[in-house]
Chain A
Amino acid sequence: MAQKPIKVMVAKASLDQDGKEARILARALKDQGGMDVIYTGLYRSLEEIAEQSLQEDVNIVLLLIHTSAPMDIYPPLRRELDQRGGENIVLTAGGHIPRVNKEALQKTGVVKKVFDYGTSAAGIIDWIHRELKV
């Protein structure tokens, strides 16, 4: 029938408290991007995020982080996803990611794309559309 909407999970993990940008982004992905968006809310464990993204069969998980400790979050989340059979779920990162971590995350393939601080919602939507070729 109509074209298939992209399904995105906007996630916040552990003790990271800053949820405002996640809610704004969720709204933008829905209203500007026409996507189905699941926002996890704050303080989720990585296991919860992985399990929910599988139950919801999302295309992309975008985890935003403001704790400056991305290496404690993204690699284990990637493992959780893979272990549960979610190898094809695209993991992306945003928020505050130190430059040195950004390279490590993208080079090792843990994260498909790190959206730099200041990336516009339109830029993220564009990237997602290109990545999923719609």
Chain B
Amino acid sequence: MEDKTRKIREGDIRAVSRLIRNLEDRIPTTDEAIRHLFPFTGKAHIIGITGSPGAGKSTLTDELIYAFRQMGKTVGVMAVDPTSPFSGGAILGDRIRMQRHAEDPGVFVRSLATRGALGGLSKAVGEGIHVLDAMGKDIIIVETVGTGQQEVEIIDHAHTVIVVLVPGMGDEIQAIKAGILEIADIFVINKADREGAGKLFKEIRGSLDMAKNFPGGWRPPILMVESLFETHSFSQSVAELAQKTLDHHQLLIDKDLMGDRKRRKATAEMNEAIRAAVLEPVLDELVSSGRLDEMIQKLVDRASDPYTMAAEVAKQYLAPKKTEEP
């Protein structure tokens, strides 16, 4: 185990990628590996990028990698793609947009599949971040589709959250509905040369105006990024975005707000670890014994209700609380 820890800290690609694979596949022995790596983590600046499919997250990430590399920083990327609920497969296509860093040893890009069903993705991502952190990456970018509870949980691992919106996709309303305004530290209006960018800008600005106060005085900036094909202006906009994320990180440190972020991250990690240790073994057993199917069938037949059956499971697995004698 020491040997493996050392290899990962030295940035051995094989060791790192195998461990992340095991995290993704939820191999139980990974807990031990992460335990050994844990003391070497906590140094990286973790950036979350979220937004609807097709918003241009991967392309932005690619350019961000470039911007950070220009500043001499090393970068790790975790790109999360949804697994098909029908076949269980996934096309991990984000890195196709990050090709030009393929041979740069200062960049490590990894795709993760969501693996659906029983949750726990956020745990794999959180632990994957630890691995890249221990590997010595200065910046870690986590890119995820911004829909669903799992993805929101993933974002809890980030220090700086970038929300990418595009005009004309109904995002104006979606953003407000999804509670995405609350989690964003920086807004990017991507493809801002499209019609409706001004309207989107005003919507976000309006919502921000309604907020009462901003922790540390950081009012999330709204950046317009346009026309990927105008290489120069595109690069400039993204370089500005890179600078803003660093400013935000600096502000968190200066205003002593890192504690809040670390607390948010720690809360997420604790929740996930408890869920993995307590809930998952129970679910595993229910699935493999066929009991979950039986219960589902009962529910379909209306022979019982979910609460009664859940209470039965709880009674079986949870030790009874000791009640004090009067």
Q: When the two chains form the complex, which single residue of B14, B95, B118 contacts A85, counting CB atoms closer than 8 Å?
A: B14
CB distance from A17 to the nearest CB of B (A): 16
User: What class of interface size applies to chain A in its complex with B?
Assistant: 20 to 34
CB distance from B115 to the nearest CB of A (A): 7
Measured between beta carbons, the chain B residues less than 8 angstroms from A48 are 99, 102-103
Whether the Cβ atoms of B17 and A57 lie closer than 8 Å is yes
B interface residues, how many (CB within 8 angstroms): 34
Given A48-B102, A48-B103, A56-B111: A37 in contact with B92 (beta carbons within 8 A)? yes
Cα(A40)–Cα(B111), bound, Å: 12
Whether the Cβ atoms of A39 and B93 lie closer than 8 Å is yes
Whether the Cβ atoms of B284 and A1 lie closer than 8 Å is yes
Whether the Cβ atoms of A36 and B96 lie closer than 8 Å is no
Is B42 interfacial (CB-CB < 8 Å)? no
Say whether chain A's binding surface is mostly helix, strand, loop, or mixed. mixed
Whether the Cβ atoms of B113 and A36 lie closer than 8 Å is yes
Cα(A112)–Cα(B142), bound, Å: 35
Measured between beta carbons, the chain A residues less than 8 angstroms from B21 are 7, 57
Binds B, one of A22-30, A62-70, A96-104, A116-124: A22-30
Whether the Cβ atoms of B17 and A56 lie closer than 8 Å is yes
Residue ID in chain B nearest A7 by CB atoms: B21
CB distance from A74 to the nearest CB of B (A): 19
Measured between beta carbons, the chain A residues less than 8 angstroms from B13 are 51, 54-55, 84-85
Is B229 interfacial (CB-CB < 8 Å)? no
Is B236 interfacial (CB-CB < 8 Å)? no
Is A129 interfacial (CB-CB < 8 Å)? no
Cα(A32)–Cα(B84), bound, Å: 11
Measured between beta carbons, the chain A residues less than 8 angstroms from B88 are 2, 5, 34
CB distance from B116 to the nearest CB of A (A): 9
Q: When the two chains form the complex, which single residue of B89, B92, B284 contacts A33, counting CB atoms closer than 8 Å?
A: B89
Question: 12 additional contacts, CB 8 Å, given A36-B89, A40-B99, A47-B102?
Answer: A1-B284, A4-B25, A5-B89, A7-B21, A27-B91, A30-B90, A35-B89, A38-B93, A40-B96, A48-B102, A55-B110, A57-B20
6 nearest CB pairs, A to B = A30-B89, A57-B17, A48-B102, A34-B88, A57-B21, A85-B14
